[in-house]
Each structure stands twice: as C-alpha cells, then as structure tokens.
C-alpha cells in the first residue's frame, strides 16, 4: 500500500473548494503572482483540522488568533483565509484587531462561527494590514469559490516565490481511496522584511481532530521541519490540515499508513519544492546522517550541516570539501567519533572510517555539478539512528537579495 503523487491542490480531495483573488494588498505584479487573497472552504461546514505553528516567540497576530481558534473550536474548521503582501506581524494590539475582523468577515461569508475560521498572513513585517481591502477580497473570493479554484489559491499565497508549489497524493486501501492535497509558499525574500513558510493541506479521510493533529505533527517533523534555506524561523510559519471525511475512509490511528503515507508524499514534495525555490538556490541537497546514538543526535548533526555557511558555499562552488562536513558534524553537539566517521557524496566515499581518499575528489566534484545530490555523513558512533534533511546551496545571489533593500 503505497501513496502515489499526482498533480493537484487543496481541492483535489473531495469536500473542498477554493478561490484566489486580487484585493490590492500586494503591489500588482501581473507576470508572477497577480493574486493576494485566498479562501479555502470545506463544502460540508466545519470539519476536523490540525495545525503546527512557528516556534518563534515574536509571533504574528494571525498565528496567535488561529492557534486560539483551533483550541476554542475543539479542532473544527470551516475554512481558511490567507492574504499575501503583509504579514500582520509586529503590529501590536491594532494588528490583533484586524486579524479578528478578518476572521469575522470570513466566518460571515462561510456561515460559521468566528472560531471555526483559520487566518493567515504573509509578507512585510511591521506594516498595518488594510482591513477594508481584506473584506472586499473575502466577498470576491466567496463568490468565486469552486473546486477548480486550487491553482488560483496557490498563486494567491505567493510572495516572491519563483514558482507555485502544489501537489496531491492518492492511496488505495481495502477501505477505499484516500486523497491528500496541499499548497505551500516559501522563501524568496527580494521584498524586504518577509520570511514566511505557509502550507495548507486537505484530505477526504474521516479523522477526529486529535488523531489528525498527531499524524500532522509526525509528518511535519520529517518534511516541513526537516528543511532549511538559511536557518531562519519566521514570525508567521504555519501548516494547516483539514479533513473533510467525504471519502468515508475512517482513520483512528495517527500512524495509519492510509493517512500518513499520502500526507508524507504531499508534505515532503512541497517541503523540497520550498528548498528548491529558496533564495539564490541553484541546487537541492539531501543530507542524510547515519551512525547516530539517537534520533535527536541525528537531527542535530543534519541541521548543523544543512545550515553551515561553509558547507553550503562549498556545494555552491562544486567543492567536495569533506573537512567542512566533518567539522560541522563535530561541532553540532551530537556525539561524534572522528576515527570511525565517514563522508559520502553521491556514491563516492571521500572519508571512510576516519581515513581520507582525496584521489576520489574529482568524481565527487562531478556529483556536485548536478541539480540535486545526496550527501551522507556517518557520525562513527556505531549507533543505528539516522535522519534526513534538505537544504540548498549558498550563493552570492542570496547575499544580493537580502542586502540590496536600499539600492
């Protein structure tokens, strides 16, 4: 029983409609992303929902409100309204007033309670969000709502992402077919003061909120929480999963592959797409850490390698610099035994059981010329735990994008 990835969005699973409109929050950019507000709705009223949020303590008003709503509603959600172009972050008490009014307008349009609405914003930090434009946008989005609206919704949450990110996955079980769909936006920070990753997922499985939350958290740890572009965790990050139940396939165990498998396919694909579209990125790098004494150690070493500027610049330059990989693993805090550590780039063993093989460098350099590569670092402890994370290379373009605000 394996899940297959297919083209699709949040409206591919049964029971959801969506729309994307332009309401004037974002500077108009007809070529790349002319839309700036989306509404995703359950067609059957409030349904079970689960979410994970940024751990940044400088948290934006819509994140605070949505976390509160999901708790008050007992994990039920009728729809989500998202705007791009303004993050409504660091906007003080006035920002919370606007977030609440945005939720109330969406609740009125959807015919549900305020706390059954999820609100999300992405864009510039520290700028007030124009409520009148948002209200006009919600009215227009409600009118445009359809099962064909998924692509417009995908484009409406983009800020300066180089491409839209969406997909779906299906799995056929003895109990019936389950579909999961999702859209996401990532990090392209040509516009200043913007740093947000958003993901919106849907499924037609029948799942209670607590089970849905457990399944989402488990999958996020291996997908959205396993990527990094620059180690920065933003003020607005969140991932929402809604379950319509329309497929009739009931899930009662959060590790049930009928839900977890397609969810992992969709979340994993969207997560890697975010890295591939990272600022200045030219390469997608899979970093696999093996030989760890614990899963926590494996993840710590993988995260340190993925965020190391020296590792990321070496990959950018096509330099199979195993010394930087070893040094990053060694400083990560994970237990590390140099004499038994190994580094493999693609299938080239550059450093094996503590011994370098520099004559293999040219072959490893060829691997680094590709768009996507796998780097494996063994911590040499003899432990059996491992973890995989995804990162991108670090280019001068990243510095250019993020330092040329005033020019």
Task: Report the interface residues with its own copies, using CB under 8 A.
Answer: 54-59, 89-90, 92, 125-126, 189, 192-193, 195, 230-235, 307-310, 313-314, 316-319, 321-324, 326-331, 335-339, 341, 351, 354-356, 358, 365, 394-396, 398-400, 402-407
Q: Exactly one of 159, 196, 223, 228 is catalytic; name it.
A: 196
Q: Residue 16 or 351: which CB sits closer to its own copies?
A: 351
Beta bridge partners of 238: 53, 198
Rounded to a whole number of angstroms, the minimum distance from the CB of residue 384 to its own copies is 19
Rounded CA separation 132/111 (Å): 20
Nearer to its own copies, 263 or 281 (CB): 281
**Is the Cβ–Cβ distance between 125 and 193 less than 8 Å?**
yes
What is the helix (H) or strand (E) element at residue 119, kind and residue range? strand 117-124
- Which one, of 64, 112, 70, lies nearest residue 88 by Cα? 64
Specify whether the CB–CB gap between 387 and 271 falls below 8 A. no
Between CA 311 and CA 288 the distance in angstroms is: 14
Q: Which of 81, 162, 92 lies closest to 122, judged by CA?
A: 81
The side-by-side arrangement of strands in the sheet containing 76-77 is 4-6, 165-173, 176-185, 198-203, 238-243, 47-53, 76-77
The distance of closest approach from Cβ of residue 220 to its own copies in the complex, given in angstroms and rounded to an integer, is 17
Q: In angstroms, give the least distance from the CB of 130 to its own copies.
A: 16
- Minimum Å distance from CB 233 to its own copies? 4
Residue 196: active-site member:
yes
Least separation in angstroms between residue 33's CB and its own copies is 21
Could you count the other beta carbons within 10 Å of the beta carbon of residue 128?
12
- Please provide the DSSP assignment of 196-216 as one string: --EEEEEE-SEE-HHHHHHHH
Shortest Å, Cβ 404 to its own copies: 6
CB atoms within 10 A of CB 32: 14
Query: 3-class SS at 194?
Result: coil
> CA nearest 364: which of 394, 310, 321, 316?
321
CB 46 within 8 A of CB 117: no
Whether the Cβ atoms of residue 18 and residue 159 lie closer than 8 Å to each other = no
239/235 Cα distance (integer angstroms): 13
- Least Å from the CB of residue 395 to its own copies: 6
Phi, psi of 192 (to 5 degrees): -75, 165
Closest to its own copies by CB, 104 or 348: 348
CA atoms of 335 and 297, how far apart (whole Å): 7
- For the annotated catalytic residues, the residue numbers are 196
């Amino acid at each position: 029983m394996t899940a297959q990835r297919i083209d699709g969005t949040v409206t591919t699973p049964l029971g959801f409609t969506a729309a994307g409109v332009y309401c004037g929050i974002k500077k108009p950019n007809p070529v790349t992303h002319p839309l700036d507000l989306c509404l995703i709705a359950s067609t059957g009223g409030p349904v079970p929902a689960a979410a994970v949020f940024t751990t940044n303590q400088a948290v934006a008003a819509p994140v605070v409100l949505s976390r509160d709503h999901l708790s008050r509603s007992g994990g039920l959600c009728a729809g989500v309204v998202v705007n791009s172009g303004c993050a409504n972050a660091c906007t003080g008490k006035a920002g919370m007033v606007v977030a609440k009014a945005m939720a109330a307008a969406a609740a009125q349009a959807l015919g549900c309670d305020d706390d059954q609405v999820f609100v999300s914003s992405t864009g510039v930090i520290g700028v007030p969000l124009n409520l009148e434009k948002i209200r006009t946008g919600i009215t227009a989005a409600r009118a445009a709502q359809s099962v064909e609206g998924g692509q417009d919704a995908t484009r409406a949450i983009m800020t300066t992402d180089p491409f839209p990110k969406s997909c779906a996955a299906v799995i056929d079980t003895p109990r019936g077919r389950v579909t999961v769909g999702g859209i996401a936006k990532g990090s392209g920070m040509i516009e200043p003061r913007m740093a947000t990753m958003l993901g919106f997922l849907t499924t037609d499985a029948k799942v209670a909120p607590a089970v849905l939350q457990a399944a989402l958290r488990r999958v996020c740890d291996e997908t959205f929480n396993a990527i990094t572009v620059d180690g920065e965790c933003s003020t607005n990050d969140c991932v929402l999963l809604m379950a319509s139940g329309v497929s009739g396939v009931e899930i009662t165990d959060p590790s049930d592959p009928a839900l977890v498998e397609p969810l992992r396919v969709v979340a994993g694909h969207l997560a890697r797409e975010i890295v591939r579209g990272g600022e200045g990125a030219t390469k997608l790098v899979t970093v696999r850490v093996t030989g760890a004494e614990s899963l926590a150690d494996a993840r710590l070493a993988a995260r340190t390698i993925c965020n190391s500027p020296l590792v990321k610049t070496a990959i950018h330059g096509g330099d199979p610099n195993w010394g930087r990989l070893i040094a990053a693993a060694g400083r990560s805090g994970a237990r590390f035994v140099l004499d038994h550590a190994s580094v493999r780039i693609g299938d080239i063993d550059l450093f094996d059981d503590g011994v370098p093989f520099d004559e293999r460098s040219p072959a490893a350099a060829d691997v680094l010329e590709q768009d996507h590569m796998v780097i494996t670092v063994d911590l040499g402890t003899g432990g059996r735990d491992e973890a995989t994370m995804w990162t991108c290379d670090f280019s001068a373009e990243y510095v250019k994008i993020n330092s040329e605000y005033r020019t």
